Structure 1
Amino acid sequence: MLLKRSPPIIKGCTPKALIVGLLGAVCIGLGSTYNDMIIKGSGLAVWNLTPGATFLFFVLVLLLNPLLRLLHPRLPLQRGELAVAFFLILLANTLSGRGLPAQLLPVITGAYYYATPENGWAEIVQPYMPDWPVPQSRDAIWGFYEGDPTGAVPWAIWAAPLLYWAVFGLALFLAMVCLMVIVRRQWVEHERLAYPMVQLPLAMIDDDGRGRTIKPLFRSGLMWLGFAVPFVLASINALHNYFVIIPTVSTSLGGLSMFRGAVSVGLNLNLSMVGFSYFIPQNIALGLVFFYIVNVVQRGLLGMLAWGGKDETMGAYSQYTDPIIIHQAMGGMIVLVLGSLWVGRRHLGNVLRKALGRAPEVKDADEITSYGVAVWGAVASFLVMGVWLWQSGIPLPFVPLLLFGAFVGFMTIARVVAQGGVASMFPPTNGPDFVVANVGGTVLGTKGMAGMALSYAWSVDTLILLMSACANGLKLVTEISLPHRRRLFGAIVAVIVLTLGCVFALTLYLGYQYGAINLSRFYFDNVAQYPYRFMEKSILNPFEPRPSTWMHISVGAAIMGGLMAAQHRFLWWPFHSLGFPISCVFGSMWFSVFVAWLIKSTVLKYGGLTLLNRLKPFFLGLVLGEAVAAGTWILIDYVIGMQNNYLGGIVFQ
């Protein structure tokens, strides 16, 4: 009689996994921040690609875990425990680098440090700034920017404003987590989004059940071949910075000038994006590329006809292209988010009824927290943020509009990352610019504009976002049927608090040691001044809302609505609507997605699904090799003392 082998017991949120995850979160938070401020190597926490988390997880899975197995068979983390650790590290990666601390510290000090007799900020800006969320000491601010002879951080000066911001930040991030819990089942189980960025960590923890020390992915020759391509190319460029005799290499093919020079189209090939795009459904990849080309044509025609131009009602983060296109994209984002909610209306209704205690038959045991906690947690978070923003000077009627504009952008990023795997993107416009452009600076008033300027700290530069990382993490724990998921919610809160505390403390310490202006010109020069240049312009040249703004938003919304309707009604429709609202911010990625689409089409035509699946390790290797190259050379540069060792465009900067 043959006995069936019992399925392996999956361990998940064990104390061991949580401890490793929290330690990893601290390491990635401090390491990414130190790299950005001191080493200045390739960014570990700049994009939703999160190469820092991937590199640290690579070290854990391939080096530390096998070493623990050699010491004792029960010491290494099992598959579920590795997933938990990665989830927590991934979230921490979004809070460091280009995350909230790097944006907040310059924004709350820039109005004071960069005030000059020429710009008149002492008279135009400073009198309308609220006292409580900014440090109230000129010496403390100057010491932070220029360094203090003693190197001591005046914690008493910083404690109160950072505590106020901690309340807002915790509400902001909890709202993001709660919203992702609410939509997880709809996105993962009902719509079955692709989640391309989850494929690598899933493959890294996959186990063939034979009890081998090395995971199957790392025994694949194809994976190591793909790994070698970006790793070798990046290493050549890194060595060039040590030995100039070594030539550099580039994956950029230059660019194309079109429409009489009105438009330049970059042909930049990013190998990790090629790797991720291999896992994007073909219709989505084609839609991303197609709508970027449409955007190029639109920009070219607007440029040739001298229509559009710069919009003085919008800030620096919304000046990268024609305002007509930006407003259309905002309309597209609104319809994308509202349309996604409409498609999931039955699930969302079940969630709401469960939260109200009227649907005991609705199951939520497989979520990281109950639907009641998620719904009421989101409501409480939005109320806290609303009161906070109102107290900062924003007129109460416009607070919901600001939160709506900001979270439309956040939800768009999370959806695009989950469905399309786009690593480098930001919302075409942001909450403050959306409000000011639509209601006018005159209506908001000077205190309202000061509140909008402070909102730049959390709502504008969202190249890396906790919400998208949370969406990916929830997909990961779903795929491995992780038990005891409720413990994850508390761990997530702990990671947010711990990582933010460590990163803020390190950034302040480095500022008083070396001078923040020497740490990063981008953060402590550009980011510090952008909000107040916009505020100054709006106060000196007040403007009323323009009907054309809402017209262009409505046009974009109508186009997006038509595209989504065509996508759902016609099976033959080839262009996925996801590409339309992000077409104006897709320039750095389009060529990589196109190359992956072309490769995948060729593989499917001549090799079918068999060859398509067989080649997956190679493309995972492209992603992993790039992340490991970045992390490895940062460690080497730290030991040797090298700075500014960028890897020549092979790795995202």
Structure 2
Amino acid sequence: MSIKPVMQEPAQAQSDGLFTTPTIERARGLRLRGLIIGFALLPFTTYWAVEIVLSVIFSLMIPPVATLMVVALLNAIGRLVFRRWLLETPDLVVIFTILFVGTAMAAEWMNVCAPLWHSFGLYAENSETYRNRVIPHLTSWLFHTDAEPIREYGIGGYKFPYALTKLGVWLPIFLGWMGLFGFATLAMLCINALMRRLWTQQERLAFPIIQVPMLLCQPQSPLWRSRYLWGAFVVTFAIGVINGLHVFFPWIPRINVRFLAALNDYFTTPPWNQVGWIPVGLFPYMAAIGVFVPNDLLFSSVLFYFVRKGMQVITAAMGYEQGVFGGGYLVPQPPYFSEQSWGAFLGLFVSVIYASRGYLKEVWREIKTGENPEAGYALSARAAFIGLIVSLMGLIGLGVAVGLPWWLVTIYVALFMAFSVVVTRLRAQLGAPIHEMAFMGPHQLMIAFTGTQNLTESTIAKLMTTFHFMNRLHRTHPMPYQLESMKMGEIARLNQRALFFVIAAAILLGIFLGEVFSINRYYRDGAGDMGGGMAGVITQLADNRYPPNVTAIAFFTGAFCFVLLLDFIRYRIPGFPIHPAGYALSMNFGIDYVWFGLGIVLLIKLFVNRYFGLTGYEKLRAVAIGVILGEFAIDMPLAVYHLITGQAVYTISINGHLGWNQ
């Protein structure tokens, strides 16, 4: 029997916090006005993302949300003037989808890869390693290997029109990276299209991250009349104004709501001094997202954060010195945090696949027969599957074209896609405000399980440089933004087939704009040598041949089994407070910033739920939304001022303009 789509009437629709499950029979087409405004604003948000990376290093990126706030405000003013809404909910969702998905493509992937495009060729004369051990293995359509065409790139002082005249020099590289990024993200989009019905309609995941954007797209929501929302907005905005003015007028005292202290300063004797960084910070907007996050994930994230710190102390006591990442860098080392993270994520992947087995069988039947239970509304499973295969073949084909063995690229891509599915599923279900996963990628499993003794230096260099985006950071991983946009489209009763192609267009345009604005940044400011780290990785792996690491494999296996055990317990003991996702998220670096704020929110939620019940939680939710809106409202004008003047200003981000832990 085929799986039928949800076809409820609005009055019967299930409540999902701010949203309701849509009526597919009344799905709407996409109006031209939303498309025009969305694509017209995308250059602004992508430029913002490239210029101020600290605005896009967490799940709810500032540029698209803040821009949507301005559009919603102008729409409300238009309602007062013209007595009607100029933009309705579907239009606003289309606008936000374009900005959300497109900006993600110009965010961290672009930030970590663009500095490598020029570094090796432009600074080869200063580095023997570049000349002899990196450049011979690079592909000319991914990296500049000769300094001559881009001499002025390293000097700077050129304005945007001049950068545009140099597009011909950069076009092969633009197309190469558009192929890598594009095929990877289009494959993710097809996976989302295949899994959408399960995750949004049958399992009805909570999608905490889109609570605020969805409210901005619903101008007639009664929540806009909440005094708790506006009270929190005013207080938060006022704090932001004071802190913003403090930067310009230091005599104005600031109200610190970011980094408050560092607990590791109090641990000065071995082995406790190897505990690593333990910041105490509030970061109101990220803590406020925790209000929408299930309590078990909040508790588990904080719990396993301190478990990780305990592991660092124990490892140091055993004679292994620990740094900031505590064994979570590129080469496996105790206590093998990256390997534990990988075991946890792949354990969660197996759990997801097992729990979805009935749905996947039905989807496979639709692929074979060509049946589409959502005909006229959404892409068929067969079309999405064909798109997935074509995208994966394109991505693997580019890896082979670079000179890598097909089997190695296939395994590499498969691991990354499995990781991507878990990140997307977790964010849709649990809404983690950050999932940094620093330096975590398929290379860890490659080194741990197979070693590097059978890989040539050329293979290592090609693999590390070509697929660097799969191994560095995952805070703005593109796949969750796609699924969240699809969910918002369902809430707004938008045609999912049309939305699929809008998302695909936003992906490609976001990549291109990110590329253009990245080279403009360096033509303006001058491109320094930023390839030393990558060259060091290549030489380290090539000069120190690593055999399979039995201990790292054991930690991976232990984490894998531990996650499956926690899932087994959770399915059989209702209310079990430990969530395996907390373990997966906390074994890496990102949770360090927010553990304290999430812990405070957990205590507040427990208190409110205990003494005020559902009514109290609804008020707390309104306060959280007001806090997020207030923080973003103060950050946007300051960010625009920074974009225009280049002057460092106050920011709500976990990083600052003057330093990463400012």
- Per the normalisation by structure 2, the TM-score is 0.87
Q: Give the Cα–Cα distance (whole angstroms) in 2 for the partners of residues 300 and 196 of structure 1.
A: 34
Q: Does 1:371 align with 2:381?
A: yes
Q: Give the C-alpha shift of residue 10 in structure 1.
A: 7.3
In 1: Cα distance, 2:626 partner to 2:330 partner: 34
Matched-pair contact (CA < 8 Å) for 1:402–1:434: no
Shift of 1:305: 2.1
**Alignment-derived partner of residue 205 in structure 1:** 217
Counterpart selection for 1:244 from 246, 250, 256? 250
Residue aligned with 1:254, SS: strand
Greater CA drift, 199-208 or 626-635? 199-208
Aligned pair 1:256/2:263, yes or no? yes
Indicate conservation of the 8 Å contact 1:285/1:420, yes or no. no
Equivalent of residue 296 in structure 1, options 294, 306, 309:
309
Taking the TM superposition and a 5 Å limit, the aligned residue runs for 1:240-639 are 240-251=246-257, 252-257=259-264, 260-263=272-275, 264-307=277-320, 322-357=334-369, 360=371, 363-365=373-375, 368-427=378-437, 429-459=440-470, 460-480=472-492, 482-517=493-528, 525=530, 528-585=531-588, 586-638=591-643
Distance change >3 Å, CA 274–CA 149, structure 1 → 2: closer
- Relative to structure 1, the CA distance from residue 12 to residue 250 in structure 2 (aligned partners, 3 Å threshold; closer, same or farther) is farther
Q: Amino acid of the residue matched to residue 597 of structure 1? A: L
CA contact 1:177–1:467 (8 Å) conserved in 2: yes
2:17 corresponding residue in structure 1 = none
Of stretches 541-550 and 175-184 in structure 1, the one that deviates more from structure 2 is: 541-550
Question: Out of 82, 89, 104, which is 1:79 matched to?
Answer: 89
Whole-Å separation in 2 of the counterparts to 1:87 and 1:175: 18
Displacement, 1:371?
1.5
Unaligned runs of 5+ in 1: 37-42, 209-214, 518-523
1:652 is displaced (CA, Å) by 7.4
Letter in 2 for 1:296: K
Any runs of at least 4 consecutive aligned residues in structure 1 with deviations exceeding 6 A, and if so which? Answer: 5-10, 650-653
2:120 counterpart letter in structure 1:
A
Q: What is the SS of the residue equivalent to 2:144?
A: coil
1:58 aligns with 2:69: yes
For the residue of structure 1 that corresponds to 2:261, the secondary structure is strand
* CA apart distance, 1:643: 1.3
Determine if contact 2:120/2:135 at 8 Å carries over to the other structure. yes
How far has the Cα of 1:159 moved from its partner?
1.4
Shift of 1:607: 0.6
Which residue of the partner structure matches residue 99 of structure 2?
89
Q: 1:147 aligns with which of 152, 156, 163?
A: 156
Q: CA 1:496 to 1:487, structure 2 compared with 1: closer, same or farther past 3 Å?
A: same
The answer to whether the aligner puts 1:13 opposite 2:30 as a matched pair is: yes
Opposite residue 104 of structure 1, the aligned amino acid is: C
State the secondary structure of the residue aligned to 2:509.
helix
1:137 to 2:146 alignment:
yes
Classify the secondary structure of the residue corresponding to 1:376.
helix
Question: For each residue in 1:229-256, what CA deviation from the matched residue of structure 2 results, as whole angstroms up to 9, or x when unmatched?
Answer: 4323332222122112222332233132
Equivalent-residue separation in structure 1 for 2:107 and 2:195 (angstroms): 27
Does 2:229 correspond to 1:223?
yes
Q: 1:76 to 1:364 in 2, by over 3 A?
A: same
After superposition, the Cα gap between the structure-2 partners of 1:10 and 1:371, relative to the gap in structure 1 and judged at 3 Å, is closer
How far 1:442 sits from its partner (Å)? 2.6
- Provide the aligned length of Structure 1 versus Structure 2: 621
Using a 3 Å threshold, how does the CA distance of structure 1 residues 534 and 584 change in structure 2: closer, same or farther?
same
Q: Per the alignment, do residues 217 and 137 of structure 1 end up closer, same or farther by CA in structure 2, a change over 3 Å counting?
A: farther
Provide the residue aligned with 2:46 in structure 1: 29
Tell me, which stretches of 5 or more residues in structure 2 are unaligned?
A: 1-9, 13-22, 658-662
Task: Kindly state the Cα deviation for residue 117 of structure 1 after the two structures are TM-superposed.
Answer: 5.7
CA distance in 2, matches of 1:437, 1:532: 21
Shift of 1:162: 1.9
Report the counterpart of residue 192 of structure 1 in structure 2: 204
Conserved 8 A contact 1:238-1:646: yes
Structure-to-structure mapping, 1:170-181, within 5 angstroms:
170-181=182-193
Identity %: 21
User: How far off is 1:303 after superposition?
Assistant: 2.0
Point out the more displaced range, 296-305 or 199-208: 199-208
- Determine the structure 1 residue equivalent to 2:168: 156
User: CA 1:308–1:244 in 2, change beyond 3 Å: closer, same or farther?
Assistant: closer
8 A contact 1:282–1:597 mirrored in 2? yes
Looking at both structures, which has the greater relative contact order when contacts are Cα pairs under 8 Å and sequence separation is at least 6? 1
CA RMSD of aligned residues (A): 2.9
User: Which of 123, 129, 154 matches 1:120?
Assistant: 129
Q: Note the C-alpha offset of 1:167.
A: 2.0
